[in-house]
A and B are shown apart, each in its own frame.
Chain A
Amino acid sequence: MELNGSQIMIEELKAGGVEIAFGIPGGAIMPFYDELLKSEFPHILTRHEQGAAHMADGYARVSNKIAAVITTSGPGATNLITGLANAHMDSIPMIAITGQVASPMIGTDAFQEADTYGCSIPVTKYNWLIQNVNDIQKITKEAIKIATTGRPGPVLIDFPKDIQVERTTYQNSEYINSGQESSPELPEESLHGIDELISALKQSKKPLILAGAGILKARASNELTKFARNSGIPVINTLLGLGGFPGTDNLFLGMPGMHGTAYANFALDDCDLLINLGGRFDDRVTGKTSGFCKQAKICHVDIDPVELGKRIHTDIPILGNVREVLKILNEDVGELKCEDWLQKIKNWKSDFPLSYENSDSIKPQFVIEKIQKLTNGDAIYATGVGQHQMWSAQFIRFNEPNSWVSSGGLGTMGFGLPAAIGAKIARPEKEVWLIDGDGSFAMTLTELATAAQYGIPVKVAILNNGYLGMVRQWQELFFEKRYSHSHYPKNPDFKMIAEGYGVHGIDVESPDQVLPSLEEASSINGPVVINFHVDKGENVWPMVPAGAANSEMQLKQSKSDTQ
C-alpha cells in the first residue's frame, strides 16, 4: 500500500510496541500530528517539552515499556534536551520524534530551525536525521530496538516536514513487544568469571552485594532475592536500584554512599568480597575511590563493557545480563554461613539506625514516614532532586521493583511531577505519591495542568522549607554558612497554585495534621497537592563530604554546626 512518511512512522511505532506518546505540536511537526489524530494514537498533550520527556521517563521506569515523545523543531527540540540527558544518564528507554524544517530549508537558519541532530548526539544512545522517506521503516524499527535492548537509553529521530507528507509504498511490519526482551546468552569469558566468583564466595567470610538499577532493567529482582536469601549475603541497593530487593528483609542494608545508611557504608568498608550486580560505581556511591572497599575483592557484573573497570579496579569482571548470571549462581551457590559477619551487621544496624529528632515543627522525615505508614511500601514513589529525595530513599521501604521514580545520574530538579504523571498513566492501578521539594516542584509545576486536564490522580507532598535545601546544607557545612542565593522567602502559595490549576490543595503547618492530610489526599479521586511547611534547617544525615572516603562519613549534626 502507499502511505506518507508520518503514517509509516506511526505504523512502525505501533508494531514496535509503543502504546502512548507525550508531546506538544508546532509548525514543523503538524503533518505528523494530523496523522496521529487520524490513527487515534494515544497522546498526552503536555505544557512543556521537558515535561513530556520526563513523563515518558516515569512511564518507562515503572512499566519497562517504551513511550514516544513528540515535539516540533527548534525550541520544541531544545526544550527536550534536559529530558533526554536525564534518561540517558539513568539508562531509560525513550523514543523522541522531533519535527524539522523542510529538507531544502535545512542549513538556511530557517524559522524555528535548530541543529537537533547535533544537539542530541551527546544525550542519546543514538539518533537519526531522516533524509529519505524510504528509510523511515528501517530507522524506526532500529530506533526502538536500540532504545530497548542491551543497556537501554533514549533515541531521537529528527523528521523534516516535507518527508512527513511524502508518499511511498509500505509493507506492514510484524508486531514486536518491546517490553519482552529475551536475555542473550552469556559470553564464554563471563562463564569463567562466574566460576571465579563462585570460588571467591567459598573463601569469603564477609561477602556483600551492591545491587544497582541493572537488576530492575534485567527483571532480575526475584533471582536476586532468591540468591541473597539462599546464600545469606546482605544486600545494599544503589539509589536507582531501590525496589530491586525487598526493603523489609533482614538482609537489606539500604543505600550506600554520600547519604547512605551508616551500616551500608560500614559494611562496604569492612567486606572482603563485594559483588556489584548492575550498578555503575557512581561517585556518590564510592566516595573517594582510593578509600572504597579497601579490603575487598571486587566482582562487577554489567551488561555494558564500558562500565567494567571505568571507575573502580575490578578483580572479577563479568560481562552480561545480570539475570542470566544470577540464574547460574542460584544453581551453584548454597548457604555460606557467615554468622559472625551477619551478627556484626546486625549490631551496626541497631547501634546506628537512621534517625531524626522530632520537634514542634514538621520534620520532613516525619512526613515521609507517615506516607510510608499510609501506603505500606506498596505505592509508586516519585521525587524531585535534593534533600527530600535523599530522605525518601532513606525512609521508604520498597516492597516491589519498579516502584521508585527518581532522577539519579543527572539529578534533574523538576523531574518529579511529570515523571509521577507518566508513572500513573503506565500503572493506573497503583497509588502514585510524589514527594517533592519546593524548589524542584516550582520548576515544572505547570504540568499540574496536564494532571487536571486528563484527570491523572497523582498525590503531591511538597516538603516546603523555602530553600534550595541541599544547597543550603552544603553552604552551612562547607561554605561557613554563607547562604548565597539559596533562599526563597517569597514562595508562592502552593495551595492556591494547585487550586488555580483546578487541583485540590491542602496546607499543613502542624505535625498532628500530617497523617490526616495524607489520608484526605488518598481518599480524593483526583490529583492533590499538599503543601507541608517543614523545618527550614533540617539536614540530611549521614553525609560523606564530597571528595572524601565513605569511611569519613559524618553521622549527624555536630554541636559546632548548630547556631
Chain B
Amino acid sequence: MRQVFSILVNNHPGVLSHVAGLFTRRSYNIETIVATPTEDKTITRIVIVSQGEEVKLNQIAKQLRKLYDVSFVETVPYETEGTKELLISILNTSIFDSKNRE
C-alpha cells in the first residue's frame, strides 16, 4: 500500500539529510519527495510518498515523529482524491505587505 506523509520541519541546511537519512537507514523507499518553505520561513513542508506493509508505514510515521526537527506528521492514504494530482504553486505575497502597497 502507498501512503503520503506530509510533514512540517524546521528549516535549516541539514534537515533534509535528517529526513532522507531516516529512510535510508531503515530501508524505507521514497517514491516522490517535495520540499518547500511554508508561509513561516522557519518551517518547511516536506511531502513524501512511500510504499510498504501497514506495519512498516506506521513505523515510518512514528520514526518521523521522533525526529527533533519534525513538528507535525500527517498521513494520507495515496488512493484518495486529493493525492491523485499534486499542484505546487509559489505565490509572491510581498505585494500584500503594507510597505509595498505604498
Return the CB mask of B47-60 against A: 1 if under 8 Å, else 0: 00000000100110
CB within 8 A of A121: which of B17, B65, B66?
Answer: B17
Residues of B within 8 A of A305 (CB): 62, 65-66
A310 and B59 contact, Cβ closer than 8 Å, known pairs A304-B66, A305-B66? yes
27 A-B pairs with CB atoms under 8 Å apart are A117-B14, A117-B17, A118-B14, A118-B17, A121-B14, A121-B17, A121-B18, A121-B21, A122-B21, A122-B24, A122-B25, A125-B68, A126-B68, A127-B14, A129-B13, A129-B14, A146-B68, A305-B62, A305-B65, A305-B66, A306-B59, A306-B62, A306-B63, A306-B66, A309-B55, A309-B58, A310-B59
Give residues of chain A (120-134) contacting chain B, Cβ–Cβ below 8 Å: 121-122, 125-127, 129
Residues of A within 8 A of B58 (CB): 309
B28 to chain A, nearest CB (A): 13
Give residues of chain B (23-79) contacting chain A, Cβ–Cβ below 8 Å: 24-25, 55, 58-59, 62-63, 65-66, 68
Residues of A within 8 A of B25 (CB): 122
Residues of B within 8 A of A121 (CB): 14, 17-18, 21
A503 to chain B, nearest CB (A): 40
Residues of A within 8 A of B68 (CB): 125-126, 146
Instruction: Give 20 A-B pairs besides A117-B14, A121-B14, A304-B66 with Cβ atoms closer than 8 angstroms.
Output: A118-B17, A121-B17, A121-B18, A121-B21, A122-B21, A122-B24, A122-B25, A125-B68, A129-B13, A129-B14, A146-B68, A305-B62, A305-B66, A306-B59, A306-B62, A306-B63, A306-B66, A309-B55, A309-B58, A310-B59
Residues on B facing A (Cβ under 8 Å): 13-14, 17-18, 21, 24-25, 55, 58-59, 62-63, 65-66, 68
Residues of B within 8 A of A127 (CB): 14
B22 to chain A, nearest CB (A): 8
Q: In the complex, A121→B23 CA distance in Å?
A: 12
Return the CB mask of A144-165 against B: 1 if under 8 Å, else 0: 0010000000000000000000
Q: In the complex, A121→B18 CA distance in Å?
A: 7
B21 to chain A, nearest CB (A): 5
Closest 3 CB pairs of A and B: A306-B62, A121-B21, A122-B25
Question: Most chain-A CB neighbours within 10 Å: which of B13, B58, B65, B68?
Answer: B68
A496 to chain B, nearest CB (A): 43
A318 to chain B, nearest CB (A): 15
A125 to chain B, nearest CB (A): 8
What is the size, in residues, of chain A's interface with B at 8 Å between Cβ atoms? 14
Q: Which residue of B lies closest to A308 (CB)?
A: B62
A505 to chain B, nearest CB (A): 43
Residues of B within 8 A of A146 (CB): 68
Residues of A within 8 A of B17 (CB): 117-118, 121
Q: Which residue of A lies closest to B69 (CB)?
A: A126
Q: Which residue of A lies closest to B18 (CB)?
A: A121
A212 to chain B, nearest CB (A): 18
Q: In the complex, A310→B25 CA distance in Å?
A: 15
A40 to chain B, nearest CB (A): 33
Residues of A within 8 A of B13 (CB): 129
Q: In the complex, A309→B24 CA distance in Å?
A: 21
Return the CB mask of A291-321 against B: 1 if under 8 Å, else 0: 0000000000000111001100000000000
Q: In the complex, A310→B58 CA distance in Å?
A: 9
Residues of B within 8 A of A129 (CB): 13-14
Q: Which residue of B lies closest to A128 (CB)?
A: B14
Residues of A within 8 A of B21 (CB): 121-122
Q: Which residue of A lies closest to B64 (CB)?
A: A306
Residues of A within 8 A of B63 (CB): 306
Q: Which residue of A lies closest to B67 (CB)?
A: A126
Residues of B within 8 A of A309 (CB): 55, 58
A77 to chain B, nearest CB (A): 15
Give residues of chain A (98-126) contacting chain B, Cβ–Cβ below 8 Å: 117-118, 121-122, 125-126
Q: In the complex, A146→B62 CA distance in Å?
A: 18
B32 to chain A, nearest CB (A): 22
Residues of A within 8 A of B66 (CB): 304-306
Q: Which residue of A lies closest to B65 (CB)?
A: A305
Q: In the complex, A127→B25 CA distance in Å?
A: 16
Residues of A within 8 A of B24 (CB): 122
Q: Which residue of A lies closest to B58 (CB)?
A: A309
B67 to chain A, nearest CB (A): 9
Q: In the complex, A305→B61 CA distance in Å?
A: 11
